[in-house]
Amino acid sequence: MPGEIQLEELTKAFGEHLAVAGISLDMPPGEFFTLLGPSGCGKTTTLRMIAGFERPTSGRIMLDGSDVARVPPHQRNVNTVFQSYALFPHLDVAKNVAFGLKYHKLDKRERAKRVGEALELVNLTEYAQRKADQLSGGQQQRVALARALVLRPQVLLLDEPLGALDAQLRKSLQVELKALQAELGITFVFVTHDQEEALTMSDRIAVMSKGVVEQAASPREIYEEPQTVFVADFLGVSNLLAAEAIGHEGGACAVRIGDRVFHCRQGEIDARGDVKVMIRPERIVIEPHSETGDERLPGIVERSVFLGGSHEVHVRVLGGELLKATVANDGRDVPVSLEPGAAVSLRLPPDALRVLRPSEVAAVQAEQDEETRIVQAPDDPPLTAPPNRVT
């Protein structure tokens, strides 16, 4: 089945600024693939290169096996849903949808039929004669979708298509879009900065930062097994602790945090030296202050925030770092006081502790890998590491 995209060392420089710094990604046919990252991470530039609006500085864009990096946008079999929809204001809905069919050899009746089908697909049949500015945001978004899908592209590119809509509409369109993609079976390349959107809709996610792909994997893997500090920090709430990896003990990595030693079973358990240790707030267990054994870190509650389904408790631990722990609001008694100032003990189970290389190390590593592989672009400026944030 066609619709496969492979990006090979794709690079885009705007003057001195490297917007996309040699990324390589495989998007198999029929996949819902998401480019996720903060603004300025290069995700939209990547999408615009696939669409053909930007010419790559170097690298290849393989569409079903042939390089389209130098093919102008009107000759590529990919279609785009723009962030602002870009519906032609001088045409009505039906003519907007029919716009691209002029370039497919179809007779008049076939063309009308295709337009009708596309409008039906997005439930807008009765709006065919309206002008774009007479539609709501959600309806405009559907027209943009119909206008692209009527051409039966192998790949649909979506640039934050839900960004301009209110939260409620977003949620329902997320579900619709995902269902539509499953029904059509074509490749979707979806750009968003909204991690929740990415997690709920995607088959696979590439998390981008500063022009590079930090990690490309399934939503579950991205969330459960982040490989870099950036990914751990960007998706969900994470606690990241500076630690020193000191040894290996039975499938776990022993790390020193402050003056205590913890065991981590997840992540880069072979690492030595300075590392980051990550734990999700929902995996931290809050116990009474009297509990002091292994796996435990004493601390003082600074703040307790009621979130409805849970409490988020901020605990200042020995050593000065602030950890967030969530306590489920499931009706069971919490054996400790969560009032500010209360002394507690945090248990950090080995299965929940993940060792991450600090970003500098990872970036240098990646750069070395890069240098050995690329011959094409030897004068790429060195990549700066993402900020090394500690939550």
Residue 34 and residue 218 in contact, taking contact as beta carbons nearer than 8 Å: no
Tell me which H or E stretch contains 205. strand 204-209
Number of residues that bind another protein (CB under 8 A): 25
Does 387 engage in binding with another protein (CB under 8 A)? no
Which amino acid is residue 73, in one-letter code?
Answer: P
The stretch among 29-37, 50-58, 123-131, 272-280 that binds another protein (CB under 8 A) is: 50-58
Q: Quote the longest CA-to-CA distance of the chain.
A: 81
Given the complex with another protein, which of 148 and 232 has the nearer CB atom?
148
Measuring CA to CA, how many Å separate 8 from each of 23, 65, 132, 262, 326?
Answer: 7, 12, 38, 41, 42
Closest approach of Cβ 112 to another protein, in Å? Answer: 17
Reported residue count of the chain is 391
- Which tokens hold the place of 187? 């490749």
DSSP string, 46-97: HHHHHHTSS--SEEEEEETTEE-TTS-GGGSSEEEE-TT----TTSBHHHHH
Q: Strand, coil or helix: what is 312?
A: strand
55 binds another protein (CB under 8 A): no
Among 99, 218, 283, 388, binds another protein (CB under 8 A): 99
Tell me if 236 contacts another protein by CB under 8 A: no
Contact residue for another protein among 102, 105, 108, 109 (CB under 8 A): 102
Binding mask 128-147 for another protein (x = CB under 8 A): -------------------x
The residue within the footprint of another protein, chosen from 2, 72, 137, 335 (CB under 8 A), is 72
| 79 forms part of the interface with another protein (CB under 8 A) | yes
Q: Does 296 bind another protein (CB under 8 A)?
A: no
Q: Which is nearer to another protein, 51 or 355 (CB)?
A: 51
Q: How far is the CB of 148 from another protein (least distance, A)?
A: 8
Q: Distance of alpha carbon 175 from its chain centroid, rounded?
A: 17
149 binds another protein (CB under 8 A): no
Nearer of residues 85 and 127 to another protein, judged by Cβ: 85
**Number of neighbouring beta carbons within 10 Å of residue 132:** 19
Residue in the block written with tokens 């080995």: 350
234: enclosing H helix or E strand:
helix 229-234
Q: Interface with another protein includes 100 (CB under 8 A)?
A: yes
Out of 13, 62, 71, 86, which residue is the one contacting another protein (CB under 8 A)? 86
Which of these ranges, 96-104, 175-183, 208-216, 272-280, lies near another protein under the rule CB under 8 A?
96-104
In eight-state DSSP terms, residue 291 is: -
Can residue 88 be called a binding residue for another protein (CB under 8 A)? yes
Among 13, 82, 171, 178, binds another protein (CB under 8 A): 82
Q: How far is CA 161 from the centre of its chain?
A: 15
Binding site for another protein (CB under 8 A): 51-53, 72-75, 78-80, 82, 84, 86-90, 99-100, 102-104, 147-148, 151
